[in-house]
Structure 1
Amino acid sequence: MSSDTDISLSSYDEDQGSKLIRKAREAPFVPIGMAGFAAIVAHGLYRLKSRGNTKMSVHLIHMRVAAQGFIVGAVTLGMGYSLYQEFWGKPKP
């Protein structure tokens, strides 16, 4: 007699940590982009007190542009890496 409890759905069984690790293996530039974004935000918060005469809005705009630039760069590199793997990284049959 077969039971439905033997069938396991892997997408429902994995927790957030293992899902993040699996996604990082599939697309390695996603965690790099997340880490870069966090580093830029941390740097911006650190430099917030010593910004001098710069207005708060200008400081925040500069940090936003830097964070967005890093994310766009990571996405671009990820797409290039993906294209390389798909078209040039495969052995020819």
Structure 2
Amino acid sequence: MVDSNQESAGTSQMSDGAPRPKNKLTIEELSYLPPPAPFYVQQGLREKLLSKCKENPFVPLGVVFTTVVLALGLGTMASEKHRRKAQLMMRLRVGGQGFAILAVLAGVYHNTKMGTGKKG
């Protein structure tokens, strides 16, 4: 039997006689609930990269262009004969970076305008 002091304190007795708080639920009390559904689909790195490239293909194009031009520019800087070519490569690199940034901004604008952006 539960006395009134335990009842007013927010506890009840378990089958073994030990008091337990009223707001704690046991496994048996929760067994009727279905398992929780996942809120999102887990994607690996490759799947996520491919889906992002499909959303806005100009961003990876700008990044690859910038990387190639940077590598070529650094290679030409090593020799003193090709200073003009190295300067041209660095200018192309800046242009590639600008293209990549504009592609990101255009993709963000397109997603917000079309309402395909992910919420929350």
1:50-89 alignment, distance < 5 Å:
50-52=79-81, 54=83, 59=86, 63-76=89-102, 79=106
**Count, aligned residues:** 76
How many angstroms does 1:37 deviate by?
Answer: 0.9
Unaligned runs of 5+ in 1: 87-93
Matched AA of 2:92 = A
Q: Is the 8 A contact 2:63 2:100 kept in 1?
A: no
The alpha-carbon distance between structure 1 residues 46 and 23, as it changes in their structure 2 partners (threshold 3 A), is same
Q: Over alpha carbons, which structure has the higher Rg?
A: 2
Unaligned runs of 5+ in 2: 1-32, 114-120
Aligned with residue 3 of structure 1, among 35, 44, 49: 35
Give the strand-richer structure, 1 or 2: 2
Q: Is the 8 A contact 1:29 1:75 kept in 2?
A: no
The alpha-carbon distance between structure 1 residues 19 and 53, as it changes in their structure 2 partners (threshold 3 A), is closer
Compare relative contact order (CA 8 Å, sep 6+) and give the higher one, 1 or 2. 1
Distance 1:19 1:41 in 2: 26
Distance 1:43 1:53 in 2: 12
Distance 2:59 2:79 in 1: 31
Aligned with residue 36 of structure 1, among 38, 41, 65: 65
Which deviations, in whole Å up to 9, do the C-alpha atoms of 1:17-75 show, x marking residues without a partner?
22111111000101101100110111012212223384xxxx5x754432121232355
TM (normalized to structure 1)? 0.57
